[in-house]
Chain A
Amino acid sequence: MEGLTIVNANDVILRAENLSYKYDSASEEDFALQGLNITVRKGEFIAILGHNGSGKSTLAKHFNAILLPAGGKMYVAGMETADENLIYSIRQTVGMVFQNPDNQIVANIVEEDIAFAPENLGVDPAEIRKRVDDALKAVGMYEFKDHAPHMLSGGQKQRIAIAGVIAMMPQCIVLDEPTAMLDPVGRNEVLRTIRLLNREYGITIVLITHHMEEAAICDRVVVMEKGQIATDGTPKEVFAQVEMLKSLGLTVPQTVELIYMLRKEGIDIPLDALSVEECAEAIYNVLKPVGRDNDARYN
Chain B
Amino acid sequence: MLKDITLGQYFPGNTPVHRMDPRMKILLTMGYIVILFVAKGILSYLPIMIWLITAVALSRIKPSVILRGVKPLIFVITLTAVLNMFYTPGTELVKIWVITITYQGVYTAFLMVLRIVMLITGTFLLTYTTSPIALTDGIERLMSPLKAIRVPVHELAMMMTIALRFIPTLIEEADKIMNAQKARGADFETGSIIRRAKALIPLLVPLFISAFRRADELAIAMECRCYRGGEGRTRLRQLNYGPVDVYALIFSVLLWGAAIACRSIAI
Chain A interfacial positions (CB closer than 8 Å to B): 64, 66, 88, 91-92, 95-96, 98, 100, 102-109, 111-112, 115-125, 128-129, 132, 148-151, 161, 164-165, 168
Contacts and interface: CB of A to CB of B under 8 A. Distances in A.
A103 B221 contact: yes
A88 B231 CA distance: 13
Contacts, number: 97
Given A119-B235, A123-B234, A64 B224 contact: yes
Nearest to A116: B225
Interface string B232-265: 1111111000000000000000000000000000
B234 A95 contact: no
A150 B169 contact: yes
A147 B194 CA distance: 41
Contact of B233 (A66, A88, A95, A122): A122
B132 interface: yes
Chain B's interface: helix, strand, loop or mixed, by majority? helix
A180 to B, nearest CB: 13
Interface residues of B, number: 30
A41 B33 CA distance: 63
Given A91-B225, A115-B235, A116-B225, 8 more contacts: A66-B224, A107-B165, A116-B227, A119-B233, A125-B238, A150-B169, A150-B172, A151-B3
Nearest to A94: B224
A149 B234 contact: no
Contacts of B214: 100, 102-103
B186 interface: no
B133 A107 contact: yes
Interface in B120-170: 132-133, 161-162, 164-165, 168-169
B165 A66 contact: no
Most buried by B among A96, A98, A116: A116
Nearest to B217: A103
A132 B236 CA distance: 9
24 contacts: A66-B220, A92-B226, A96-B224, A98-B220, A100-B214, A102-B169, A103-B217, A103-B221, A104-B217, A104-B218, A107-B165, A108-B133, A116-B225, A119-B236, A120-B228, A122-B233, A123-B234, A124-B234, A125-B234, A125-B236, A125-B238, A128-B236, A150-B169, A165-B225
Contacts of A100: 214, 217
B236 A111 contact: yes
A103 B236 contact: no
B57 to A, nearest CB: 27
Contacts of A103: 213-214, 217-218, 221
A116 B222 CA distance: 9
A151 B223 CA distance: 25
Nearest to A124: B234
Nearest to B161: A107
- CB-based closest 8 A-B pairs: A115-B236, A103-B217, A117-B225, A104-B221, A150-B168, A120-B226, A122-B232, A96-B224
